């Protein structure tokens, strides 16, 4: 009897697994089916062009690892949609080096172990020229030794400092602004715009918050900033008045809160209840609507560093504006919603890679490596990229903006 119970349980589990799979695929299906109508519109003019300068010969194969399913799928899905969209665009416009572009996308299911197998498959089985991705930092750190050993250029779309800070970085570049850049942007705002010097830091005890605190402590003296108090909280704490009262006692001029939701929203509410009216500077961890929903009125006036895609009107550089407008329109036509930040990371990663291949006029790994290291002024949704042999981050502090919450939406603070 017990045996039968276990079998029933297993059937139930299998059903759940299948359902998760079906839901995951359902999401993907919508993206692929929506590609169809858009493609018929764009292929018509392109196909006539193809006869003139159409891509021919062996395809240039580029691999991609994204978290299309699993907890990180909000990152991986827009990235995947962007890569598929670009593959089509490039091929419609004559391919790369006169050859068709083929992007092979692997799903790491948000698990670094799957990213390892995916990287091995792309390199060994598909003989890819280079790899775009992965979406999440753990997968990037797990794949790094593999692409380094195989000498395959890899453009990660993840933010942990270690990806490009710790050697070996010869074959690893990244497109999103790294965590340290956001901390620098927040401090520069405090020092240069607010012209304040006494800062209190309230941070989450998780990886994100702790790395933020470390970065702030390291660079505060450079900005002439003194940290008068630092307090921490656990991710799931629902009341931060104790920490805020302690901070209040230290008389800071500004409070920096480094964490992801819901902590920062709780802090904003508690500050209001305690009548603390010093400026609230958040992190890029609250660059989403969830923070505004959770904090409600208390969100008003909060500022935080973010990428320019969050406030498209902040993009003043005409070249970048043209790129972003074109990208946003194309993305919206295919997917049906404006591109999130993550879509921008993918657009930049594949764009940088194709540009490097074009510059090198070769798919040879060493030639691509040289071309990537010499990238200057490449403009994409995330900003302007300048890679050097020792700087594989590309972006600078000018590529970030400080956003203020006003009337429940985002506006440029500076």
Partner 1 sequence: MVAFLRRHVAFLAFAVVMMGLPFFTSNTYYLSVLAFTATRLMTSLGLNLLMGQAGQISLGHAAFVGMGAYGSAILTTRFGMNPWLAMVVAAVVAAVVAGIIGIPTTKLKGHYLAMATLGFGEIVLILLIQVKSITKGTDGITGIPSLAIGNLVFTQYNPRAMHLLLWGVALLMLRMSLNLADSRVGRALKGLHRAEVAATSLGVDATFHKVQAFMISAVFASIAGSFTAHYVQYISPGSFTLTFSVLLVTGVVIGGLGSIWGAVWGTLVMMILPEYLKQYEDATNLVFGILVIVIMIFLPGGLVSLGSALGKLRTRVGGRDRRAADTSDPGSLEGNARRPGGAA
Binding site for partner 1 (CB under 8 A): 2-3, 5-7, 9-11, 13-22, 24-25, 28-29, 32, 69-71, 105-107, 110-113, 116-117, 120-121, 123-125, 136-138, 141-142, 145-146, 149, 160, 162, 166, 205-208, 210-211, 234-235
Phi, psi of 216 (to 5 degrees): -65, -45
Residue appearing with tokens 């299309």: 68
CB of 161 to partner 1, least distance (A): 9
Cα–Cα distance for residue pair 78/192, rounded to 1 Å: 35
CB of 36 to partner 1, least distance (A): 14
Nearer to partner 1, 393 or 399 (CB): 393
CB of 232 to partner 1, least distance (A): 10
CB of 3 to partner 1, least distance (A): 7
The answer to whether the CB of 110 falls within 8 A of the CB of 70 is: yes
Give the tokens for residue 197: 């010097």
CB of 123 to partner 1, least distance (A): 7
What stretches of 54-136 show up as alpha helix (H) in DSSP? 73-92, 112-120
CB of 104 to partner 1, least distance (A): 9
Strands 226-233 and 254-258 turn out to be unpaired
Residue/partner pairs of 317-321 with CB below 8 Å, 24 or more apart = 317/379, 317/384, 319/379, 320/379, 320/380, 320/381, 320/383, 320/384
Cis amide linkage into residue 333, ω under 30° from 0: no
The answer to whether the CB of 199 falls within 8 A of the CB of 224 is: no
**3-state DSSP assignment of residue 306:** strand
The answer to whether the CB of 373 falls within 8 A of the CB of 389 is: yes
CB of 12 to partner 1, least distance (A): 10
Nearer to partner 1, 81 or 286 (CB): 81
Nearer to partner 1, 72 or 254 (CB): 72
Nearer to partner 1, 166 or 398 (CB): 166
CB of 7 to partner 1, least distance (A): 6
**Residue of 115, 31, 126, 125 lying closest to 79 (CA atoms):** 31
Nearer to partner 1, 92 or 106 (CB): 106
Nearer to partner 1, 213 or 240 (CB): 213
Cα dihedral across residues 103, 108, 110, 113: positive or negative: negative
Nearer to partner 1, 74 or 145 (CB): 145
Nearer to partner 1, 138 or 301 (CB): 138
């Amino acid at each position: 009897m017990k045996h039968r119970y276990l079998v029933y349980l297993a059937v139930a589990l299998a059903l759940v697994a299948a359902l998760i799979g079906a839901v995951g695929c359902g999401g993907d299906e919508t993206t692929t089916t929506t590609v169809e109508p858009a493609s018929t519109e764009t292929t018509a003019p392109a196909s006539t062009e193809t006869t003139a300068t159409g891509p021919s010969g062996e395809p240039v194969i580029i691999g991609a690892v994204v978290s299309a399913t699993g907890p990180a799928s909000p990152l991986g899905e827009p990235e995947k949609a962007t890569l598929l969209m670009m593959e089509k665009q490039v091929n419609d416009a004559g391919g790369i080096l006169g050859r068709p572009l083929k992007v092979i996308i692997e799903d790491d299911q948000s698990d670094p172990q799957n990213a390892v197998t995916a990287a091995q498959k792309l390199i060994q089985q598909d003989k890819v020229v280079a790899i775009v991705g992965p979406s999440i930092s753990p997968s990037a750190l797990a794949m790094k030794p593999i692409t380094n050993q195989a000498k395959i250029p890899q453009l990660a779309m993840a933010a942990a400092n270690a990806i490009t800070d710790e050697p070996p970085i010869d074959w690893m570049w990244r497109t999103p602004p790294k965590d340290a850049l956001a901390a620098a942007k927040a401090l520069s705002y405090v020092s240069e715009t607010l012209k304040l010097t006494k800062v209190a830091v309230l941070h989450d005890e998780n990886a994100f918050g702790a790395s933020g605190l470390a970065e702030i402590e390291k660079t505060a003296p450079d900005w002439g900033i003194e940290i008068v108090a630092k307090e921490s909280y656990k991710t799931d704490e629902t009341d931060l008045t104790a920490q805020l009262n302690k901070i209040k006692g230290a008389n800071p001029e500004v409070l920096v809160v480094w964490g992801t939701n819901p902590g920062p929203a709780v802090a904003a509410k508690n500050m209001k209840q305690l009548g603390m009216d010093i400026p609230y500077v958040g992190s890029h961890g609250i660059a989403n609507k969830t923070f505004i929903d959770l904090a409600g009125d208390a969100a008003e006036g909060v500022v935080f560093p973010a990428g320019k895609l969050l406030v498209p009107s902040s993009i003043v550089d005409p070249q970048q504006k043209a790129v972003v407008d074109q990208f946003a329109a194309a993305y919206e036509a295919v997917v049906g919603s404006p591109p999130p930040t993550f879509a921008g990371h993918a657009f930049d990663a594949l764009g940088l890679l194709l540009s490097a291949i074009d510059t090198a006029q070769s798919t040879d790994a060493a030639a691509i490596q040289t071309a990537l290291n010499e990238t200057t002024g490449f403009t994409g949704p995330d900003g302007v990229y300048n890679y050097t042999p020792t700087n594989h981050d590309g972006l600078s502090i000018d590529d970030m903006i400080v956003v203020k919450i006003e009337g429940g939406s985002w506006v440029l603070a500076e």
